[in-house]
Structure 1
Amino acid sequence: MSAQLSSVVLGAGLMGRLLAHTLAQLGHHVTVYEAQGPDAQGAAARVAAAMLAPLAESAITELPVVQMGQHALKRWPELIAPLSEPVFFQQNGTLVLWHRQDAAEAKRFEQLMHRTQQQLPSLPAAQTLNAEGLLQHEPALENRFAQALYLPGEGQLDNRQLLAALLKSLEQQNVALHWHSPRAPEDFQPGKTGQPDWVFDCRGLGARTEWPQLRGVRGEVIRLHAPEVTLQRPTRLIHPRYPIYIAPKEDHVFVIGATEIETEDLSPASVRSTLELLSAAYTVHSGFAEARILEVTTQARPTLTDNLPAIRCLGDRTLQINGLYRHGFLISPAMLDVVVEWVQHHTTHLATQFQLKFEHV
């Protein structure tokens, strides 16, 4: 009988928890080292809407991310199913709205999505809705907008429920969890006696010492409780400065986001950003006027020079997974499956399929 493989995962954000959970399922003895605590306060994934919207994101990202997003829509239900705690998952599509003064920008957005759909015919095409069609899809928006786009098949999940459920599963799988214990790849010599077989660096911006091309892009997100609002799916509002989304979670909680600022400053959100996000939400549905602000949060997303993810091999048995930027929930299942394929077969066809940078350093 072959000896049990041992793996060390550095970082317990979304990618770290997902990978540790999957490796434990595969029979590895897994140890996790995290610089902060179990509540994921330092993780970009905690400050997110967790939307799974490959076609909508195609207006601001590259085709490989869209392809990984398609993969995620199939994989997330499979990844959530074995977790012991429930995770809200919804696949009701995405609604795209705009005000009359932003019609030209909306047209450009529609053209970008049409181009993507031509390149990837397997993506469901965007549907143009008139006022009557919009009423059928989203009754809460009656008489508020004359037209919209509906992107069928897109989805979302609850990011914080997922992080908590993954943590619970790690505990149940007897994964060794070391909180407030920062480690780096050079602390280990995988393959040697007394050392792990594999090391996986999922530290996000914490890996910048070894990967200097990483930078942080600040995002600001508002969580509201709005009992008067009954939106049934993620809604995007065309905005002249940045795309604004409203993601409805369970119990009338809504995630409103997100600004995108080239800085790693994690000070509280600015008045300008807060006003813009809340004002945009109010123009979509007046019920947000009576909403209660649960929190206004900021975080820096780990981003590489081209805003695309990458995997690096530091030797034969040390992998760095990073650069998920604003697409963590959209692309992490694909990144996970590439890593697992490499561990099991020491080759990866998926990386080629997704045009993912897989570098040997």
Structure 2
Amino acid sequence: MLALTAPSHIAILGAGLMGRLLALELAREGHRVEVFEAKGPEADGAAARVAAAMLAPLAESAITEPGVVHMGQYALTRWPELIAQLDAPVYFQQNGTLVVWHRQDAPDASRLCSLFEKNRRINPTLPALESVSHAQMATVEPALQGRFQQGVYLPGEGQLDNRQLLAALETTLARLGVQFHWHTARETTDFAPGSAGQPDLVLDCRGLGARTEWSALRGIRGEVVRVHAPEVTLQRPTRLVHPRYPLYIAPKQDHVFVIGATEIESDDMGPASVRSTMELLSALYTVHSGFAEARILEIATQCRPTLPDNLPALRWLDDRVLQVNGLYRHGFMISPAMLDITLQVLRSGATDLARQFDVAVHLPHTAAQTTAQAA
């Protein structure tokens, strides 16, 4: 594979989260970077624009693999470093996660807590969850005092403001001289990297846009509501245990909250249904009645790019075309690790981080055969 040396000319396909992060690091290293994006600068075609941007490795350990959990822990340290490089402030909070449930859902909550404890035994570096009694709720989350009999607190988990981040990345990239081609959809086959007048390297970060060349990708639909709720003062991401409709609430600045729950095997990017929106808002109201007076800012849908094993991967199409994809529902939690894995691969062809986080790096077909035969 190509060993990247500066200054190289690099074309990045896709200006979502991974595309912007890679452009930032490569531009800072002195490379000439061009970004081609099918939509506009608002990232309206990217799953990252709709996400809640929670950094919750222990909470997510209930539904994902240990490697993803390790990447989430890595992100909690790496994100502040990345944000510090940007030209505009980005809201970042590391105030833990609160998990609550209504009395009738206590058996489901008990099973979930047992799963957290099991995963912590597997990975002792995860923090211990802390039980929150009815009396302690007033201290841990005053806004929920008297509303729940008990809960659990997951210390150390965090979140950031995804839209502030995407905008700050764009501003910083422009200062660094990165050239954006908005509303310019491109395939990897539109380039002949290494030829005269062509980029030295192509990085494909298009998410579901890459399905024309990575057929295993599928969409996982999510539906998210953004509200402005001046009467609600939640201090940290809060998750509601529910047998059919689990809910998360991520508080951002100025009483803006991002609420989501749905995860549907579908490539449909059409508007949210009345039924799913009513169920989501009804569950939200049971967490805090102050949400009844909230103003709905947006009801958004998006499909997350997902590979068959629900894990991210890198894939070389040839010696000068590398795809980074499959971040599923964990984009903000795993993107710092995926960024650093990709940079290691580009610089030396080898990556300790990929092995550490169990991230697959697929070689081109001919190279994979050669490697297998040599082994």
Same fold (TM over 0.5): yes
* Residues 1:97 and 2:100 are matched in the alignment: yes
Is it true that 1:297 corresponds to 2:300 in the alignment?
yes
Deviations 1:190-219 (A, max 9, x none): 233322222110000000010000111111
Find the residue that maps to 1:358 and give its secondary structure.
strand
> Equivalent residue for 2:372?
none
| 1:168-247 aligned within 5 A | 168-247=171-250
Cα RMSD over matched residues?
A: 1.1
Please state how far the C-alpha of 1:277 moved relative to its aligned partner: 1.2
Note if contact 1:242-1:260 (Cα within 8 Å) is conserved in structure 2.
no
| Equivalent in the alignment of 1:28 | 31
Q: Distance in 2 between matches of 1:326 and 1:46?
A: 12
Q: 2:354 aligns with which of 336, 344, 351?
A: 351
In 2, the alpha carbon distance for the partners of 1:3 and 1:200 equals: 16
Kindly state the Cα deviation for residue 160 of structure 1 after the two structures are TM-superposed: 0.5
CA deviations 1:246-278 (Å, max 9, x no partner) are: 000000000010311111112211111111111
Q: Paired residue for 2:318?
A: 315
| Runs ≥4 residues deviating over 4 A | none
1:140 aligns to what? Answer: 143
Deviations 1:92-119 (A, max 9, x none): 0000001111111111111111111111
Could you tell me which residue of structure 1 aligns to residue 287 of structure 2?
Answer: 284
Task: Tell me the equivalent position of 1:52.
Answer: 55
SS class of match (2:318): coil
Q: Which moved more, 1:239-248 or 1:295-304?
A: 239-248
For residue 189 of structure 1, report the CA deviation from its aligned partner: 2.5
CA-CA distance at 1:182 after TM superposition: 1.0
The 1:221/1:122 distance shift into structure 2, 3 A limit, reads same
Q: Where in structure 2 are there 5+ consecutive unaligned residues?
A: 365-375
**Residues 193 and 92 of structure 1, relative CA distance in 2, 3 Å threshold:** same
Q: Is 1:261 the counterpart of 2:264 in the alignment?
A: yes
Does residue 1:116 correspond to 2:119, yes or no?
Answer: yes
CA contact (8 A) 1:7 1:28 kept: yes
Unaligned segments of structure 1, at least 5 residues:
none
Q: TM-score scaled by structure 1?
A: 0.98
Q: How many residues align?
A: 360
> Corresponding residue for 1:17?
20
CA distance in 2, matches of 1:350, 1:343: 13
Structure-2 separation of matches of 1:117 and 1:189: 48
- Residue 328 (structure 1) shift: 0.4
Are 2:53 and 2:161, in contact at CA under 8 Å, matched by a contact in 1?
A: yes
2:41 maps to which residue? 38
2:296 maps to amino acid: I
TM-score calculated relative to the size of structure 2: 0.94
Say which SS state the counterpart of residue 208 (structure 1) adopts: helix
Asked whether the equivalents of residues 6 and 30 of structure 1 are also in contact (C-alpha less than 8 Å), the reply is yes
State the distance in 1 between where 2:53 and 2:261 align: 12
> Pick from 45, 67, 70: which aligns with 1:67?
70
- Given that 2:6 and 2:29 are in contact with CA atoms closer than 8 Å, whether structure 1 keeps it comes out as no
SS in 2 for 1:266: coil
SS in 2 for 1:193: coil
Q: Is 2:167 the counterpart of 1:164?
A: yes
Partner of 1:342 in structure 2?
345
For 1:149, the equivalent position in structure 2 comes to 152
1:221 is paired with a residue whose SS is: strand
Query: Displacement, 1:242?
Result: 4.3
- SS across alignment from 1:27: coil
Query: Any conservation in 2 of the 1:106–1:238 contact (CA below 8 Å)?
Result: yes
1:306-342 deviation per Cα after TM superposition (whole angstroms, max 9, x unaligned): 1111110112221100011111000000000000111
Distance in 2 of aligned mates of 1:199 and 1:241: 43
- Measured after TM superposition, the shift of residue 3 of structure 1 is 5.9
